[in-house]
Structure 1
């Protein structure tokens, strides 16, 4: 997939080490945490480097997109989890879709909520 334009990135420091945070990331994003190919509908695995990087990509009629999670050790007991978004929105329909998803700040709310859920799952595994 070509290099897509940068959209944004959001980070959160999680009170768990990278292994715990990685496990929580997979439980939150994959239907089967043991299979990285069970990402949510619309996404496919682009790259994985456990427990440091999970990159996914996808496309549909109105956009091509990529979402990358980077896990960096803040200290031995804390992980900085960063979600980095890239996307292209070609044509008039893409511009309208971008306005609905990105410009409305809906994307920002969804990503921040996802980081919050991963943080809770890392600290309190189910």
Structure 2
């Protein structure tokens, strides 16, 4: 069931894909794919947006670890990881759940976010309304599916 809000943030969207591997293998691959966002470009964007956290720390998906713009606030290995963050224009949670299914693991990526003020509404239009967020999330999920077990 999709929660209508999480941490006081409204539901934005959910994307799912089945990866042809166990939850443990899918978990490791998801961490590797998200860990690719630790580079200079992600850090520069986080700085531009005044994102918190501003830089990568720790080991994904250990609680307390971070990517630019995302902190690991909850992790149940092989099952769930909650990434939270904020910047000038939004507060957000990105919740990944992994569920064993016939043929592999269902990966669900749910986004919850608030976009306060006029600039927040404009940012939402640019990121969510343009379809850019949807494209990026689906690309991430396909990359996990295609790389799992490699």
Flag whether TM exceeds 0.5 (same fold).
yes
Unaligned 5+ segments in structure 1 are none
* Residue from 118, 122, 127 that aligns with 1:92: 118
SS in 1 for 2:32: helix
Structure 1 segments of 4+ aligned residues over 2 angstroms from their partners: 30-40
Cα displacement string for residues 68-125 of structure 1 (whole angstroms, at most 9, x for unaligned residues): 11000003x50000000000000000000000000111000000000011112214x2
Residue range with higher mean Cα deviation, 34-43 or 10-19? 34-43
Measure the CA separation in 2 of the matches of 1:119 and 1:84.
17
- The number of residues matched between the two structures is 123
Instruction: Give the CA deviation at 1:48.
Output: 0.3
* Residue from 107, 117, 120 that aligns with 1:81: 107
* Residue from 32, 48, 55 that aligns with 2:75: 48
* Residue from 22, 35, 39 that aligns with 2:27: 22
SS in 2 for 1:16: coil
CA contact (8 A) 1:27 1:33 kept: no
TM-score scaled by length of structure 1: 0.89
**Alpha-carbon spacing, 1:24–1:61, altered in 2? closer, same or farther (3 Å):** same
Measure the CA separation in 2 of the matches of 1:55 and 1:97.
22
* Residue from 2, 10, 14 that aligns with 2:15: 10
Unaligned 5+ segments in structure 2 are 1-5, 39-56
* Residue from 130, 133, 146 that aligns with 1:104: 130
